[in-house]
Amino acid sequence: MAIWFVAAWTHILISCEPAQTVPVEEIRLTVYRIIDGDSFEGRANGQNYRIRLFGIDAPEKGQDFYQKSKDRLGQLCKEGPINIKIREKDYFGRWVADAHTYKGEFINQTMVKEGLAWHFTKYSKDPTLKKLERDARDLQIGIWSIKDPTPPWEYRKNKKANQPQRS
């Protein structure tokens, strides 16, 4: 019994690892699917990648500005291959990265600057993203044009809490 318990506990600990750090890798990616305002899928060097933009969190499906955020990310990605600088792999197996359009526009920053994503301070202390969010709030653009927008991480937590329990 004790051996089974230790084996099961070890498996749980191993399978619940935090984000993995990887060597900095830069790739040119052709995007083929926009998931939401901070995630997309693309292909580079014969390999598929699921990308999560570093330092930002965009509205979830069902929230105000979800579709506008998703559409804007699609516009930024469709003009040509984008440059990706991978930072790490997250708990869900996505590559967390910085992304630039082929013209050099920093996509992560653009989404926050235009009020289409929050600076995700749980994972990022980037002073530029902090300032861009403050400026967007002051200008009341995008998500900041509505009174008291719910951050996506709170929306996800509330949605999960309200799901029926399985037995």
Q: CA-to-CA distance for 82 and 76, rounded, in angstroms?
A: 9
pLDDT at 165: 65
CATH number corresponding to 18-157: 2.40.50.90
Q: Where are the domains of the chain?
A: 18-157
pLDDT at 18: 45
Whole-prediction pTM value? 0.83
Asked whether the beta carbons of 51 and 99 are under 8 A apart, the reply is: yes
pLDDT at 124: 96
Q: Please indicate whether residue 154 is annotated as part of the active site.
A: no
pLDDT at 17: 45
pLDDT at 19: 52
Q: CA-to-CA distance for 85 and 147, rounded, in angstroms?
A: 35
Q: Which two tokens stand for residue 94?
A: 């996505």
- Block means of pLDDT (10 residues each) for the chain, 167 residues, are 41 42 77 98 96 98 97 94 96 96 97 98 96 98 96 91 70
Secondary structure element (H or E) that encloses residue 160, with its range: helix 152-161
| Alpha helix stretches (DSSP H) within 47-143 | 66-78, 107-113, 127-139
Q: Please indicate whether residue 87 is annotated as part of the active site.
A: no
- Choosing from 25, 50, 87, 94, the catalytic residue is 94
- Choosing from 41, 52, 72, 166, the catalytic residue is 52
pLDDT at 65: 98
pLDDT at 14: 37
Secondary structure element (H or E) that encloses residue 157, with its range: helix 152-161
Q: Please indicate whether residue 60 is annotated as part of the active site.
A: yes
Asked whether the beta carbons of 39 and 94 are under 8 A apart, the reply is: yes
pLDDT at 2: 45
- Choosing from 17, 28, 43, 60, the catalytic residue is 60
Tokens 């009020």 sit at which residue?
115
